[in-house]
Structure 1
Amino acid sequence: MGRMVLGLFLGLILSSVGLYWWQGRAQVEEKAPPPPEVEEASSPEDLPITDPADMTGPQPPEASELTREQIRFFRYDRNRDLTITRNEMLSTRSDGFRKLDVDGNNLLTFEEWAVTTAERFDGADSDGDGRLTPQEFATTAPKRVAKPKCRC
């Protein structure tokens, strides 16, 4: 019995929504501007013809494949000036907090984190200018560990 009442109620709602939609559509069409006057087309020669060879558009951007090291470099180089400043390097190191806990108390202070990251940056900055070039940054790449082969 409850399903029948629910079905009748939903049917009433759907029909009222449809009625309101139909009435609203009729009012818009009622006040629509008159259709423009159509001039008789005299011949197909009056239609504009365009030569595709004359058309020019913007050049599509060139896609370049980035190496794994370039992708890693640009994660740190936020302003894309091809150098990594100390602030850029420090701002992206939030994932390594647990690895940087020097005193082993499971709490990482900002000082512990900043000192370790600054030492890593200074170790990679071979010319000591406070910026990492792509070649200098490549020395900070994590060493890949070979996965053991399956002994099936």
Structure 2
Amino acid sequence: MQRFILGGLTVFVMLSLGLFWLQGRAEVEKAAPLPLASVAPPDPQGVPSADLTDIEGPDLPEATEQTREQRRFGRYDRDRDGRITRNEMLSTRVDAFRKLDKDGNNLLTFEEWAVATVTKFDGADTNRDQSLTPGEFRKTAPPPAKPKPKPKCSCGS
């Protein structure tokens, strides 16, 4: 008895899939191009000339100059809404977590590892709305690199 029920359900599913396939195929065929016989040949008088001296294309798009901080903000703001959520800020840290867990035993939990990032986020989120504005995000920038000391001259004088 179970075989008959299972067979009936299988037939029903197959018929339903076939019906959806045919409906989708019909939609594609409605927008199919007309056969070439019904298309009129182009008018030879309306064909443009090959003289390109007077033709000008559109202006090239100009890239806006962004500051280093604006580019950094853009890398974190995945959905481009002008705010960085906690998940967006933590998403860039996943690879670093995997690098810390060298033996792959997952003894270092993500929450334990993310304490520094969460603390940094909470410190920057001054209005406590769980998202960072560009001004708040600026506070999370790494400190500027110290200049390297110049090597002493080893010339024999």
TM-score, normalising length from structure 2?
0.52
Give the 5 Å matches for 1:5-16: none
Once the two structures are superposed, residues 29-82 of structure 1 have per-residue CA deviations (whole angstroms, 9 ceiling, x without a partner) of xxxxxxxxxxxxxxxxxx846782xx5644432211211111111111111222
Partners of 2:53 and 2:149 in 1: how far apart? 63
Partners of 1:133 and 1:76 in 2: how far apart? 12
Give the 5 Å matches for 1:48-63: 48=49, 52=54, 57-63=57-63
2:125 match: 125
Q: How much identity, in percent, do the aligned residues show?
A: 62
1:116 match: 116
2:77 match: 77
State whether residues 97 and 110 of structure 2, in contact with CA within 8 Å, keep that contact through their aligned partners in structure 1: no
Once the two structures are superposed, residues 105-133 of structure 1 have per-residue CA deviations (whole angstroms, 9 ceiling, x without a partner) of xx531121233322211111111111111
TM-score, normalising length from structure 1?
0.53
1:148 match: 149
Structure 1 SS opposite 2:114: helix
Structure 1 SS opposite 2:126: coil
Aligned-residue Cα RMSD (Å) equals 3.2
Gaps of 5+ in 1: 1-46, 102-106
Structure 1 SS opposite 2:140: coil
Partners of 1:94 and 1:150 in 2: how far apart? 38
